[in-house]
Amino acid sequence: MIKSKRQFPDLPHFASLIEWKLPTLFRTRAKIARAITIDDLAKIAKRKVPKVVFDYVEGSALDEVSYSRSRQVFNQVEFTAHTLRDVSKIDPTIEIFGKKVDLPILFSPTGYTRFMHHVGEPAVAAVAQENNMIYSLSTMGTTSPSELAQQVPDVRRWFQLYVMQNREDSMSVIKQAKDSGFEALILTVDTPVSGIRVRDIKNGLTIPPRIRLSTVFAIAMKPVWWLNLFTTKKLEFAAFRGWNKSLVELAAAIFDPSTKFEDVKWLQSVWSGPIIVKGVQNLEDAKELAKMGISGIILSNHGGRQLEKGPVPLELLPLVVKEVGANVDIYIDGGVMSGQDAYAAVAMGAKAVFVGRAYLYGIMAGGERGVQKAVEILKRDFVNTMALTGARNITEVQQIGATLRSS
């Protein structure tokens, strides 16, 4: 029998293995720094903001099946690994509309961002600028196009538009976006009416939050969030200042159920730059839009927040890319929670992916610092997956590809 030879402990060597860390007053910063996944940021976020805020970000429509299916399909992805390749140099950059971006991951337009953290949309745009990414500002944002351009002048910025019932309102925000240097418009088309978002209804969500008896308890539980709300500028929709009703009432005023393909043609007549249509959920619509000469299509189920039990974008992606991908850029969003998810979509033909919840967890966790951490996590995962599959650039990612395993 082999026996280990005993010796006296090597105390200097033992001491060299000990990591001495002084206590920190900035516990949230330390937690963000230690976060490894987007889910880690979500856990931090849940402890930092009131339930109504977290539920707005995490929730979706009705029984939340659509979002669950989106996540499930990403879990069914199978990668192909090519070995014995020199992957010492990895290039994840792509060109979008003639300009290079550092990663095929774009910031989705999300409403009410100052609701999640008082720094709001400019903080997200600042991270996009720092990392050479594209930021998309929502019509239902808490920062206007001109305000964003003034605060983060060098970020590549796109503006998301709803065709409103009053076309003059639409023209007003389009003009402001054009005058403020936004290079592209994202037209959202999957909102003829608002989806039924059960969590928001149960929570009585309004912008700004109304003060009720239950609010007193909420303030006691999350005092920092409420202090920031009360000591920074008024929380309101930049495009609808003075509005003080529920989100359902706001949606009824904004979303136009009569919007049709002719409105896309109208938009082409008033906007000279690229137009990307978001919310496409079938091949027939994608073909029609491609014929109209639009610049991009975002296959999207609105993060599961509109039509419950609708199509899953990743499942639809290969067919749409095959039929119209030669003529129009195809993007997807919905359920992208890691760099591997983004890699999967690009490998299956997407030009790039849009992320929403992923960076909103970051901003709820720690403002701009949290958003930066989310980007670092996504980029690390994406580049790591490139190396492990043997892809040295985005062209090779799409050549190697990815498949969906049958459930």
Q: pLDDT higher for 131 or 227?
A: 131
Contact 147, 125 (CB under 8 A): no
Which residue in 259, 257, 129 sits closest to 187, CA to CA? 259
Distance from C-alpha of 308 to C-alpha of 62, rounded to nearest angstrom: 7
pLDDT level of residue 246 (50, 70, 90 thresholds):
low
Q: pLDDT higher for 249 or 187?
A: 187
- 16 belongs to a structural domain: no
Tokens of 134: 């594209």
Q: pLDDT tens for residues 212-239?
A: 667 667 767 888 988 998 899 888 888 7
State the pairing for strand pair 296-299/184-188.
unpaired
Contact 119, 229 (CB under 8 A): no
Tokens of 242: 């003075």
- H/E/C letters for each residue in 73-121? HHHCEEECCCCCCCCCCCECCEEECCEEECCCEEECCCCCHHHHCCCHH
Sequence-distant contacts of 224-231: CB under 8 A, at least 24 apart: 224/48, 225/48, 225/49, 225/50, 225/53, 226/50, 228/117, 228/118, 229/118
- 378 belongs to a structural domain: yes
pLDDT level of residue 251 (50, 70, 90 thresholds):
low
Mean pLDDT of 335-341: 96
Residue owning tokens 């969906």: 404
Tokens of 37: 């996944």
Tokens of 122: 């400019």
Distance of CA 366 to the CA centre of its chain: 16
Distance from C-alpha of 102 to C-alpha of 105, rounded to nearest angstrom: 9
Distance of CA 290 to the CA centre of its chain: 24
Range of the domain at 363: 28-404
Mean pLDDT of 173-192: 94
- 2 belongs to a structural domain: no
Q: What is the CA radius of gyration of the chain?
A: 23
pLDDT at 73: 96
Q: pLDDT higher for 197 or 18?
A: 197
Is the pLDDT at 343 greater than 70, yes or no? yes
pLDDT-wise least confident of 13-27, 97-111, 112-126, 159-173: 13-27
- 318 belongs to a structural domain: yes
pLDDT at 147: 95
Is the pLDDT at 25 greater than 80, yes or no? no
Contact 307, 190 (CB under 8 A): yes
Mean pLDDT of 123-149: 96
pLDDT at 207: 62
pLDDT at 257: 86
208: cis peptide before it, omega within 30°? Answer: yes
Contact 113, 141 (CB under 8 A): yes
DSSP state of 274: -
pLDDT at 6: 81
Those residues with Cβ within 8 angstroms of residue 224's Cβ, 6 or more apart along the chain or in another chain:
48
CATH of the domain at 258: 3.20.20.70
- 130 belongs to a structural domain: yes
- 260 belongs to a structural domain: yes
Main-chain dihedrals φ then ψ at residue 150, nearest 5 degrees = -70, -40
Distance from C-alpha of 357 to C-alpha of 199, rounded to nearest angstrom: 16
pLDDT at 216: 63
pLDDT level of residue 210 (50, 70, 90 thresholds):
low
pLDDT level of residue 33 (50, 70, 90 thresholds):
very high
pLDDT-wise least confident of 125-139, 169-183, 223-237: 223-237
Q: pLDDT tens for residues 363-406?
A: 999 999 999 999 999 999 999 999 999 999 999 999 999 999 98
What is the overall mean pLDDT for the chain?
A: 91
Contact 171, 165 (CB under 8 A): no
pLDDT at 249: 67
Which residue in 162, 39, 57, 43 sits closest to 112, CA to CA? 57
pLDDT-wise least confident of 35-44, 301-310, 335-344: 301-310
* Direct distance between the N- and C-terminal alpha carbons of the chain, in angstroms, rounded to an integer: 50
The per-residue b/e assignment along 147-163, b for 16 or more CB within 10 angstroms, e otherwise, is: bbbeebeebbbbbbbbb
- 322 belongs to a structural domain: yes
Is the pLDDT at 17 greater than 80, yes or no? no
Question: Is 81 buried (19+), middle (13-18) or exposed (0-12) by CB count in 10 A?
Answer: exposed
Q: pLDDT tens for residues 72-100?
A: 999 999 999 999 999 999 999 999 999 99
pLDDT at 70: 94
Q: pLDDT tens for residues 259-280?
A: 899 999 999 999 999 999 999 9
- 180 belongs to a structural domain: yes
Tally of structural domains, the chain: 1
Residues annotated as catalytic (active site), given as ranges: 302
Is the pLDDT at 245 greater than 60, yes or no? no
Those residues with Cβ within 8 angstroms of residue 263's Cβ, 6 or more apart along the chain or in another chain:
163
DSSP state of 393: B
Mean pLDDT of 179-197: 92
Q: pLDDT tens for residues 301-314?
A: 999 898 999 999 99
Map residue 47 onto helix, strand or coil: helix
Tokens of 164: 């409103």
Half-sphere exposure of 319 (CA within 13 A, CB side): 15
What pTM value is reported for the model?
0.92
Mean pLDDT of 172-179: 92
In the chain, the amino acid numbered 286 is: A
Mean pLDDT of 103-124: 95
